[in-house]
Amino acid sequence: MRSFNPILIVVSILTILLFVSIITVLSSCGIPPQEPEFKIPIIKTDKQKSSLCLMPQYMMNAWYDLECVKPFCSEFDPDRKYADTMKTHQFWKPTEEVKQTYSKKGLVVIVDTIHEITMTKRPIWASYLFHRSFDDNRPLLQDDTLTQDVKSFPVYIANVSNTKTATIEIQDGSIMMIVEAQDKHRKWRAIEYWSHSWCGNSYYTLDIPPQYFAFTRGVKCSGDFLTSCRLKVLNGGDSLYSNEFKMSISTNQFNRPVSYKER
| 242 pLDDT above the threshold of 80 | yes
Which range among 32-46, 61-75, 137-151 shows the weakest confidence by mean pLDDT?
A: 137-151
- Read off the pLDDT band of 262 (50, 70, 90): very low
Contact 162, 101 (CB under 8 A): no
Which pLDDT does position 112 carry in this prediction?
96
CB-based contacts of 25, cutoff 8 Å, min separation 6: none
Which pLDDT does position 144 carry in this prediction?
64
- Read off the pLDDT band of 33 (50, 70, 90): very low
Helix (H, G, I), strand (E, B), or coil: what is residue 56?
coil
Selection from 124, 116, 177, 188 nearest residue 152 by Cα:
116
Q: In which element (H, E) is residue 237 found?
A: none
- Read off the pLDDT band of 263 (50, 70, 90): very low
Cα separation of 138 and 16, whole Å? Answer: 79
Cα separation of 10 and 169, whole Å? Answer: 63
Of 93 and 163, the structure prediction assigns the larger pLDDT to 163
| 74 pLDDT above the threshold of 70 | yes
Give the DSSP letter of residue 79: T
| 126 pLDDT above the threshold of 70 | no
Which pLDDT does position 217 carry in this prediction?
95
